[in-house]
A and B are shown apart, each in its own frame.
Chain A
């Protein structure tokens, strides 16, 4: 790393805000700052183009399972969406357009992976080391998401696998699947999109499922030219359709509270879908979930189940036990000889890798502070980490609605916090530790009784270290914005009062 012996030109001019990540969150925050034009900022991006998870997850069949008119910025409605659920390339194109048209490209440093971020108590600034030099700023906004670091299972003998092996978010385009014997590990949101596509190519396909997902019909269709023209000429009609989609999703939140009168009919839709598409009783049994509807992400697909009706597709329900050369053995005792192994095993969502690289005012890393699970006040501010704001961090995932709505709520909050600092000429804003704990107690109370905790499943929504629901927001999306979308200085002022007054004057 060249930052160890920096030459002068490696140290970039100080800015007001460093944004880490150029995905939905980072570009949204950048757009806000660019449009207001009050603050200097840079966006640090480890890759060579924008798009975050929509750049990385370009596997065959990749698409969003939130409708596109909702899964887009409210300040950048897009009349051109081709379908209800746009495919990955189109979403990536949308994000590229936003970056270019909002004038963000000059602010973005590509190949600038955050190696280390440290709060400098003397300078009251964040100092960020990257391969592209050192960046400093008053405020640090991390927007790295929780679906960005591929998670691979630890399987004995994995290193001996003789064929090609990759994670779905690192799809190897050099591998031609035609005529190959392919294994897909996993049966979550990615797998159900990958499996039908791989089945078209492979001579043999084995899907390794540990637990069966609930799969509901995917009400997808192409938009007509008339609709697109209407959205173009009457943009308010896009807002109406967006509102329809948002509230229809919000209605589903009630199911997540575990009320049987709502959960049971919703589960029946998925089970009916399964029975309609699969006739073989043994296969139906294997594909029938054994936990409460909604405990894990509810999936949408019209072509996942039918794939298993094909003769060359096998569903193995044991889970992978070991690998020896070309043989993959499952816990069920079966052995499969395979040429390619694709891991659709998700992401490091509860133990965020960036937390190991960020150090607060005591020199302690965020991961150390979060050893028992991540937490943040209002989902954004962490005690001991002044002037740091986390976009799409703890308790911001949704099992029922659009993540973009959440990110926009946070952007609103962060923007207000930055303005508050300006107006009151504050160099430092840090959340009070007690306020953070109180917030987390409230989140814990909201999570009580929900299907995510009580649904009898193991999911990435819950941190195994503390049993807490740390990735999901356990209340309606609208409530998120009500509670976390409006900046209130009081709990930050509390922290200031607790700080030694002398230290404060030194800072000034």
Chain B
């Protein structure tokens, strides 16, 4: 189903692949888009099903699907994915720049773009992102590859277990958990992305990011533990840090809270001073 009634779907050619985007605005309409970059094995629709329409109520929203590079003869690099996003930004948002929002692997890609092509990025939001893969992540990655080639059902359970925070999973019924497990899919390109995840290292770049940045770490994240967000916060000069009490799957567990964080930040990026932590929201 269409991600949003106002969204126009289009493609931009990058090398020999088409990158799909969904845009609720048009180039030249003067509206700076909030650009959503999904994570490993995801898509605009699967990761931003709720966040996209929430943001679209107040902003122009542009989401991108990474394209699977079938004919690649070497391992996938982060620059390959960055090139796809850059091509769409140049096509759709060259006049305005972008409020770039990256989630998980999409955060690593977005940070790379902010470092390499600062003129395209007005603000940067990194949700459950990381700069350098550590051994805790490498171990999980290794289990993932074994199960991917050995036992897909076990992999569905494993990734569900890893993706969601324990407060969220623990509050569900058996049927609801079963539905989450059954819904896990392994789209083309996921294995290449998982190999890329094993070797992420953008530590050298991120110190040079000059865009106002919002880092969002997730309290109960097993996949990208919150320490990685704290390190990004330590490295990026104009960064502020927020914490969401969810697992890695924050866009599914806490979309409304992410929406408020992103909306508040892109509307007035300097409302929270760089180097400070956003107060937790009490309800």
Q: Which residues of A are in contact with B by a Cβ distance under 8 Å?
A: 70, 74, 219, 239-240, 242-244, 246-247, 250-251, 253-254, 257, 259-262, 264, 405, 476, 478-479, 482
Contacts and interface: CB of A to CB of B under 8 A. Distances in A.
B50 A262 contact: yes
Given A240-B167, A242-B283, A254-B50, A260 B1 contact: yes
Given A243-B245, A260-B5, A262-B49, 11 more contacts: A246-B283, A251-B254, A253-B54, A254-B255, A254-B256, A257-B57, A259-B53, A261-B45, A476-B259, A476-B260, A478-B256
A262 to B, nearest CB: 6
Interface of B: 1-5, 45, 49-50, 53-54, 57, 167-168, 171, 173, 245, 254-257, 259-260, 264, 281-283
A253 B257 CA distance: 12
A302 to B, nearest CB: 13
A240 B256 contact: no
B283 A74 contact: yes
A247 B53 contact: no
Contacts of B168: 244
B256 A261 contact: no
Instruction: Name which of A240, A242, A261, A479 has the most chain B CB atoms within 10 A of its CB.
Output: A261
A478 B5 CA distance: 25
A259 B283 contact: no
A259 B4 contact: yes
A251 B57 CA distance: 14
Interface centre among A242, A247, A476 (most CB of B within 10 A): A247
Nearest to A258: B5
18 contacts: A219-B173, A240-B245, A243-B281, A244-B171, A246-B283, A247-B256, A251-B254, A251-B256, A254-B50, A254-B54, A260-B5, A261-B3, A261-B4, A261-B49, A262-B49, A405-B283, A476-B259, A478-B281
Can you list the 7 inter-chain pairs with the closest CB atoms, starting with the nearest? A250-B256, A259-B53, A246-B283, A261-B1, A251-B256, A254-B54, A247-B257
Main secondary structure of the interface of B (DSSP, over half): loop
Nearest to B171: A244
Interface of chain A, main secondary structure: helix
Contacts, number: 65
A219 B49 CA distance: 24
A478 B260 contact: yes
Given A244-B171, A250-B257, A257 B281 contact: no
Given A261-B4, A262-B53, A264-B1, A243 B256 contact: no
A239 B167 CA distance: 13
A485 to B, nearest CB: 12
A279 to B, nearest CB: 20
A126 to B, nearest CB: 33
Contacts of B1: 260-261, 264
Nearest to A477: B283
A243 B283 contact: yes
Nearest to A476: B256
A244 B3 contact: no
Contact of B53 (A240, A244, A261): A261
A254 B254 CA distance: 12
Contacts of B167: 240, 244
A239 B281 contact: no
A247 B167 CA distance: 13
A246 B168 CA distance: 13
Contacts of B260: 476, 478-479, 482
Most chain A CB atoms below 10 A, which of B4, B53, B257? B53
B231 to A, nearest CB: 25
A8 B129 CA distance: 72
A253 B50 CA distance: 10
Contacts of B281: 243, 478
Contacts of B171: 244
Contacts of B255: 251, 254
Contacts of A260: 1-2, 5
